Amino acid sequence: MNQAPRHPRFTPLRALVTGLAATIVVTVAAGGVFLLNDPGRPVAGEAVPSPAILPDPIAPSAPPRQIGGPGVPVTPPQLLGIAPRPVPQETVLRIAKVKHVQKVALVGGGGVKLSGHPLQLLAVEPAQFRSWTPEPVAQHPEVWSAIARGEVVADPAVMKRLGMVLGKEYQVDNGPRLRIAASADLGFPNIDGLISKDLGARLGFSDGVVVLVHGDNVSGTRVRKLMGDGSSVVPIGEVKQEREQQPAARTTLVGRPASYLELYQKSAAVCPGLSWTVLAAIGQVESSHGRNNGPSSAGALGPMQFMPATWRAYGVDGDGDGVADIWNAYDAVPGAANYLCATGAAGGGESLRKAVWAYNHSWDYVNKVLGLAGAYARAYP
């Protein structure tokens, strides 16, 4: 990435073109997402004043919910083109007729200095652009709601390089303060993050200068020629490489029960001596049985509101699909049982209280969960 000039308000688009031209082939990232939600959102498990602690009368019998809603068909780009000026619509139509091209899109782009750090960003419409990203990014609603709120989704590599922190606001040189709301592996060469089209306009970005092309074996030379002098086209392809060895997911089969109630009951068997009512109480307090899967303001995720680091240590593959998925209730509930067991929950009494405290460091939380567990025992004898 070229260094931005010292004093202008925004990095010239030419810097974006030059930086992209230096990249020939990149690896399409796996698409991991790290998020922080609105700062006012309650911390996972935070005690909420209530006149009575009662079991949810409906949700326990409902089927476990999956996050993300209907799937988004993913059509990642094979070519990414940068033009020195907005690309006319007639040029886009010509590119669409190039052999093997299946889909073309135009987005905005430009550069800013964020707290003195030069960043190259794409300015996009979330609903139209999400299919161009890796599947885990496309399927995660919080990435797109963060962009719609006028916040920044940053590539994790640039965050690490610049020491940026999720949830923190950074000052645009001679511009507004912007919050880094999410971090996602986007898979685009020398692109540091995403913002909304509206925010891009406020920052002085040029609209329609970045061309995305989906299709196998499309001629980059032909696309660049159609885009005109000064344009650059970068192929984006998956490179075979040795990946870091990840530990295999621990399998703790509970299957896919038809209701949360049954899921809590089967998952308790992961920790002999632990009552399923404790899992049901935690599930209600943390996410209302999957109705609010986060992320929380603390960064907890999924129906049982695990912190990612804790999940890596105690998460399990509960439904036998080969993946320990923090968002999947069939994995998250037995994962919670696994964690509670590791912290002594099976011993009952004071050991159980300490285990629930380990789940969320608040004695008010412990009292709420165990009181609700007792109410579940009375409601479902």
What is the tens place of the pLDDT at every residue in 334-376? 999 999 999 999 999 999 999 999 999 899 999 999 999 999 9
Does one domain contain both 269 and 248? no
Does one domain contain both 83 and 228? yes
pLDDT at 376: 93
Which of the listed residues 254, 270, 291 is the one where a domain comes to its end?
Answer: 254
What's the average model confidence in pLDDT over 78-90?
93
Does one domain contain both 104 and 173? yes
What's the average model confidence in pLDDT over 221-250?
69
Name the 3-class secondary structure at 215.
coil
Distances (CA, A) of 140 to 59, 66, 95, 208: 23, 11, 30, 25
Does one domain contain both 175 and 294? no
pLDDT in tens, 255-291: 888 899 999 999 999 999 999 999 999 999 998 898 8
What's the average model confidence in pLDDT over 123-142?
84
Cα-based torsion angle of the residue sequence 344, 347, 348, 353 in order, rounded to the nearest 10 degrees: -20
pLDDT at 12: 41
pLDDT at 262: 93
Is residue 160 situated within a structural domain?
yes
Distances (CA, A) of 254 to 262, 318, 330, 333, 376: 10, 5, 7, 10, 21
Does one domain contain both 282 and 264? yes
What's the average model confidence in pLDDT over 187-193?
86
Which of the listed residues 191, 220, 254 is the one where a domain comes to its end?
Answer: 254
What's the average model confidence in pLDDT over 112-116?
85
pLDDT in tens, 42-72: 333 333 334 456 777 766 777 775 544 345 6
Does one domain contain both 113 and 250? yes
pLDDT at 254: 84
- Predicted TM-score (pTM) of the model is 0.51
Is residue 64 situated within a structural domain?
no
Does one domain contain both 178 and 245? yes
pLDDT at 71: 52
pLDDT at 241: 34
**Is 347 buried (19+), middle (13-18) or exposed (0-12) by CB count in 10 A?**
middle
Is residue 73 situated within a structural domain?
no
pLDDT in tens, 292-339: 876 776 778 889 999 888 898 899 999 887 888 888 899 999 999 999
Is residue 3 situated within a structural domain?
no
pLDDT at 184: 82
pLDDT surpasses 50 at 19: no
Q: To the nearest whole number, what is the mean pLDDT of the chain?
A: 80
Helices vs. strands in the chain: H and E counts, helices first: 14, 13
Cα-based torsion angle of the residue sequence 363, 364, 366, 372 in order, rounded to the nearest 10 degrees: 170
1/96: higher pLDDT = 96
252/11: higher pLDDT = 252
Q: How many CB atoms lie within 10 A of CB 39?
A: 10
Does one domain contain both 275 and 244? no
Is residue 179 situated within a structural domain?
yes
Is residue 65 situated within a structural domain?
no
pLDDT surpasses 80 at 249: no
Instruction: Please provide residue 105's backbone torsions phi and psi, each rounded to the nearest 5 degrees.
Output: -140, 150
The domain total for the chain is: 2
Is residue 172 situated within a structural domain?
yes
pLDDT in tens, 145-179: 889 999 999 988 888 888 888 888 999 988 899 99
Does one domain contain both 174 and 303? no
pLDDT at 83: 92
Is beta strand 316-317 parallel, antiparallel or unpaired with respect to 250-251? parallel
Which of the listed residues 223, 254, 285 is the one where a domain comes to its end?
Answer: 254
pLDDT at 122: 95
373/253: higher pLDDT = 373
pLDDT at 186: 84
pLDDT at 359: 93
Is residue 174 situated within a structural domain?
yes
Does one domain contain both 245 and 285? no
Does one domain contain both 221 and 126? yes
pLDDT-derived band at 36, boundaries 50, 70, 90: very low
pLDDT at 141: 76
Distance of CA 26 to the CA centre of its chain: 21
**Cα–Cα–Cα angle for 65, 67, 70, nearest 5°?**
100
What's the average model confidence in pLDDT over 110-130?
89
Q: What range defines the domain where residue 349 resides?
A: 260-379
Does one domain contain both 102 and 213? yes
